[in-house]
Structure 1
Amino acid sequence: MKSMLMTTVAAIGVLSCLSAASHAADIIEPIYVEPPAPVYEEPVKEDYSGWYIRGDAGYLFGSSTSADYSVYGRDGSRYHYDELEMKGSYTIGAGVGYRVAEHFRADVSLDYYDLDIDGRSDCPDFSGCSYNDHATADIWTAMANAYVDLPYFGPVTPYFGAGLGFAHVGYGTMRNEICTPTCGDEGNFVGYHGGEDSWRFASSLMAGGSLDITKQLKLDVGYRYTRVFEGDAFGYDQVDSAFGASGVQGRDHGYDLHAVRAGLRYEFGSGGFGKGKEPVYAEAAPVYAEPAPIYEEPVYK
């Protein structure tokens, strides 16, 4: 009887221990461990410098200028030519440049402009008489340009720039009809004035944007204003030349060239304006650590 009682007490003790251990295991929960702070990774610095080449073509808008001329046999007075109208045409160009810094580059460029010019003016001292003229001209500009590339917007980088240089203006023969009073009449006198060539100063202003096709190849679209300063335009016609006239008879007052252009620019350096080089933050995932089981001694009562 006494042996059975001790066996029962021992069994109750074992069950109590198991119950306590089971209860202790039930209250174990994962412990949340705060992740480490985000890690700032310094962006990789690239060498933005490097050579580039560019080529473009565009549309030259029509514009107008004025001119003056002398009359052979007079006292050397200059007469004002009312208007020379330049028709819309085309322009092409190419250049070689160097990127000095991420947002600054410079190049030298050679550009060609094709001009088709009409002119009209009243004859001096003759009422009911006017001049109706037509000529062509070629303008070549050699410019040194500097550009500032603004912070980019996605793949597009706006820019503005300015240039200084020289222009060579070459006129073709000018056809001069004296209209008395109607132009195109069969009896009107038509004179031909030899064209003049001259070197002049030129300046330009540019604005536009470049689109990344690849890291090194850019599509460049923009507007360019070029000011070509005044110079020689044409000589005397065949009649005045027969009487001994020589030299320059007419001079233009310069040209304002307005053009929209599109072309490609290839940069041999790393290029890119820092795209993809923003600071990188490495986020650490939350960590859940399982604590070790805790054994609690049973309490006997």
Structure 2
Amino acid sequence: MRSVKSFIAAGAATLLSQAAFAADMAIAPPPYAPPVVEDFGGWYLRGDIGFSSQRVDRLNNRLDSTLTSSVQTNNFNSAGIFGLGVGYRVNNWFRADVTGEYRGNSQFFGTDRNTFVGGVGTDTYHATKSEWVVMANAYVDLGTWWCITPFIGAGVGGARVAINGFTDQGIVSNPTPPGPALAGLAFGDNVAKWNFAWAAHAGLAYRVTPSFTVELAYRYLDMGDGLTGDLRAFDGTNNINNPTTFKHITSHDLKLGVRWDLTSPQVYAPSPLIRKG
């Protein structure tokens, strides 16, 4: 009997020593996983530069009612775009910002070949146009591949359209009754007016670092109408309430932008290895 008790006691001691040895062993480390970056969104600043390709549907004047027909050709030179803004990235797919930009001087050249009671004439137009544009924009990011994120967006706001140095040189080449060609030159005072404006955006964003992103974007911008002052002759005479309206000014813009995130993403690393003793 004594030998059985001794055997049981020895076995129990062995089990206890093995349990204590196992407890003193290091806890096995978990499999390695890279740090998890949580993107919670946040505020950002932006800057943009670019150039424009602008259009106007036609030039209107109240004296157009006297014309039998009118065929216009109107063109703007390209102009620079310079903008700044502040925005908020809500999550990985939605963000919004408010931007203000200056659109530099664009030279305007136009012609109007018309017929009217008393002759056939041609008008040649010149002017300079510039704008200040303030917009509230919203964007949807469509996913990210190799750090490149395509996006679309829309914006609404206001455009201050300024028409400066407008001139209208007219020539009547076939007057009735027959006689020598007639020529005249009219001027319009500088006018700036605010209009409702809206825009549609599309582009690609490349995330260089967690806090710095570069954008290449296209924008269609509708800025409403431009306006001149009453037209007057070189001697100062004018017809009252006789401005020229630039009807429906639009622009196709190509822009290069940068964004600086003001909120750094939070990084979570695995818990440290814990050893007993």
Counterpart position of 1:201: 196
Residue 96 (structure 1) shift: 0.8
Cα 1:212–1:203 change in 2 (3 A) is same
Counterpart position of 1:220: 215
Counterpart position of 1:261: 255
2:163 and 2:226 in contact (8 A); partners too? no
Counterpart position of 1:101: 91
2:195 and 2:225 in contact (8 A); partners too? yes
- Structure (1/2) with the larger strand percentage: 2
1:242 matched to 2:225:
no
Identify which of 29, 41, 50 aligns with 1:58. 50
Match of 1:269, SS state, is coil
Counterpart position of 2:111: 120
Unaligned runs of 5+ residues in structure 2 are 1-29, 175-180, 271-277
Alignment of 1:125-274 (within 5 A): 125=116, 126-181=118-173, 188-238=183-233, 242=237, 245-270=239-264
Once the two structures are overlaid, the 10-residue window that deviates more, 148-157 or 45-54, is 45-54
Give the partner amino acid of 2:103: Y
**Separation (CA, whole Å) in 2 of partners of 1:44 and 1:205:** 35
Give the partner amino acid of 1:204: A
2:54 and 2:249 in contact (8 A); partners too? no
TM-score (norm 1): 0.67
TM-score (norm 2): 0.73
Match of 2:201, SS state, is strand
CA offsets 1:207-252 (integer angstroms, 9 cap, x no match): 1111122210111111011011235334212369525x33452112
Unaligned runs of 5+ residues in structure 1 are 1-37, 281-301
1:67 and 1:83 in contact (8 A); partners too? no
CA offsets 1:152-211 (integer angstroms, 9 cap, x no match): 0111111111000111101102121113449xxx98422211132211111001111111
Counterpart position of 1:284: none
Give the partner amino acid of 1:255: I
1:51 and 1:99 in contact (8 A); partners too? yes
Give the partner amino acid of 2:133: T
CA offsets 1:139-161 (integer angstroms, 9 cap, x no match): 11111000111210111111111
Cα 1:240–1:201 change in 2 (3 A) is farther
Identify which of 67, 80, 85 aligns with 1:90. 80
Residue 117 (structure 1) shift: 1.0
1:116 and 1:136 in contact (8 A); partners too? yes
Cα 1:52–1:196 change in 2 (3 A) is same
Give the partner amino acid of 2:86: V
Give the partner amino acid of 1:217: F
Residue 97 (structure 1) shift: 0.6
Alignment of 1:39-78 (within 5 A): 44=36, 46-71=38-63, 77=65
State the superposition RMSD in angstroms. 3.2
